[in-house]
Amino acid sequence: MSAPVYAEYFADPFVLQLSDGSYVAYGTGRPPATGDAVFEALTSTDLTYWQSRGRVLPRLPAAFGDEYWAPEVLEADGEWWMYYSVGHGIEGHHLRVARAEHPLGPFVDQGVNLTPSESFAIDAHPFRDLDGTWYLFFARDVLHHSRPGTHLAVLRLSAMDAAEGAPVSILEPNADWQIFERDRHIYNGTFDWHTLEGPTVVYRAGRYWMTYSGGAWTGEGYAVSWAVADHPTGPWAHAPQGTAPLLKTNDSALIGPGHNSLTVSPDGDDVIVFHAWDAHHDARKMHVHRISFQPEGPWVDGPTQDPSISASTAGMTH
């Protein structure tokens, strides 16, 4: 059985391993966002026991939006950079960046909209290539396509707070399981709306691997699949037709698993961190499973923690 590793609501979990081997997790809070600060941070030494460190990003003026989603953080030259989206409800989200002198903040927004040409952009994922180049993967809305909806793209970063050139489309929906809603009324039209979101990239076995979520985050059809490429800007190839999702609703107490991040366990193994609904479909909670990247594709094993650990105890620290 898969049990959450943190007892409280913690959606879109991103886990960063620090230089001392400990971990910080950042997540989206329960909507609607409230308070003077957003994005709760948790700390852990083992990916199993977590302690809340409070919220780390002061809220922007109301004109920027009232919902803050999917923070991810990197360290560069002794500073910490958070990428996130903010918008009004589920509309008008754009990607922004904030800086801090410590991974627990406070993060200070740098006054930059990284996606000014997009109608909707979410789920920023920074990735450093082998040659030191930084890229920012994200999800954006695309209407003029045989499968309209939210697709995946990438920007090259010329600095931690500056994009270089136009975004490059890297992954489009290719299957019905990725449908968010049929006959969705949006952008003054009606679409069979598809959704790809939450991209995360690693370099393993000589190739670039991307995990992403598809479908409607609100339901049991939400799932995680993968794509592969030989360069961060592509071309990216979907998992072969008929390949089962890496994570999906199943009989191991996972309901609508999705929006993952990838990190390394204390013993050096790759792990996938994601959220799934609780049994009452009331809260999205954080889970941690093992993942392995093989030449033929990745696969997900069971949870990293002892299955006897329940959500009531996993929120505590040693």
Question: What confidence score (pLDDT) does residue 89 get?
Answer: 95
CB of 236 closer than 8 Å to CB of 171: yes
CB of 298 closer than 8 Å to CB of 211: yes
Two structure tokens written together for 260:
């993952």
Question: What confidence score (pLDDT) does residue 34 get?
Answer: 86
Two structure tokens written together for 21:
């081997």
Average pLDDT over residues 144-166: 97
Confidence of residue 303 (pLDDT cuts 50, 70, 90): confident
Question: What confidence score (pLDDT) does residue 304 get?
Answer: 74
d(CA 55, CA 42): 9
Query: Per residue in 18-36, pLDDT tens?
Result: 999 999 999 999 998 889 9
Query: Per residue in 85-141, pLDDT tens?
Result: 999 999 999 999 999 999 999 999 999 999 999 999 999 999 999 999 999 999 999
Class of the CATH-defined domain 11-314: mainly beta
CB of 212 closer than 8 Å to CB of 173: no
Q: Where are the domains of the chain?
A: 11-314
| Averaged confidence pLDDT in the chain | 94
User: Which residues, including other chains, have CB under 8 Å from residue 131's CB and lie 6 or more apart?
Assistant: none
State percent of the chain over pLDDT 70: 95
d(CA 98, CA 79): 10
Question: What confidence score (pLDDT) does residue 305 get?
Answer: 62
Nearest Cα neighbor of 258 from 215, 298, 228, 312 is: 215
Average pLDDT over residues 147-166: 97
Two structure tokens written together for 86:
């903010």
Per DSSP, the three-state class of 102 is coil
Nearest Cα neighbor of 140 from 100, 179, 196 is: 196
Residue 311 scores a pLDDT above 50: no
Question: What confidence score (pLDDT) does residue 313 get?
Answer: 42
Confidence of residue 152 (pLDDT cuts 50, 70, 90): very high
Question: What confidence score (pLDDT) does residue 99 get?
Answer: 98
Question: What confidence score (pLDDT) does residue 308 get?
Answer: 44
Confidence of residue 309 (pLDDT cuts 50, 70, 90): very low
d(CA 164, CA 310): 45
User: Which residues, including other chains, have CB under 8 Å from residue 278's CB and lie 6 or more apart?
Assistant: 4, 255, 284, 285, 311
Question: What confidence score (pLDDT) does residue 250 get?
Answer: 86
Residue 266 scores a pLDDT above 60: yes
Average pLDDT over residues 167-173: 98
Residues in the chain: 318
State percent of the chain over pLDDT 90: 91
Query: Per residue in 126-137, pLDDT tens?
Result: 999 999 999 999
Cα angle: 148, vertex 149, 154; to 5 degrees: 110
C-alpha 110 chain-centroid distance: 21
* Distance between first and last Cα of the chain: 23
Question: What confidence score (pLDDT) does residue 106 get?
Answer: 98
Residue 164 scores a pLDDT above 60: yes
Query: Per residue in 200-235, pLDDT tens?
Result: 999 999 999 999 999 999 999 999 999 999 999 999
Question: What confidence score (pLDDT) does residue 155 get?
Answer: 98
Average pLDDT over residues 243-261: 91
Q: Which residues pair with 180 in a beta bridge?
A: none
Confidence of residue 317 (pLDDT cuts 50, 70, 90): very low
**Between residues 314 and 42, which one has the greater pLDDT?**
42
Per DSSP, the three-state class of 210 is strand
Q: Report the run of H or E that residue 311 belongs to, with start and end.
A: helix 311-314
* CA 246 vs CA 56, 285, 299, 308: distances in Å: 31, 18, 6, 23
Confidence of residue 252 (pLDDT cuts 50, 70, 90): low
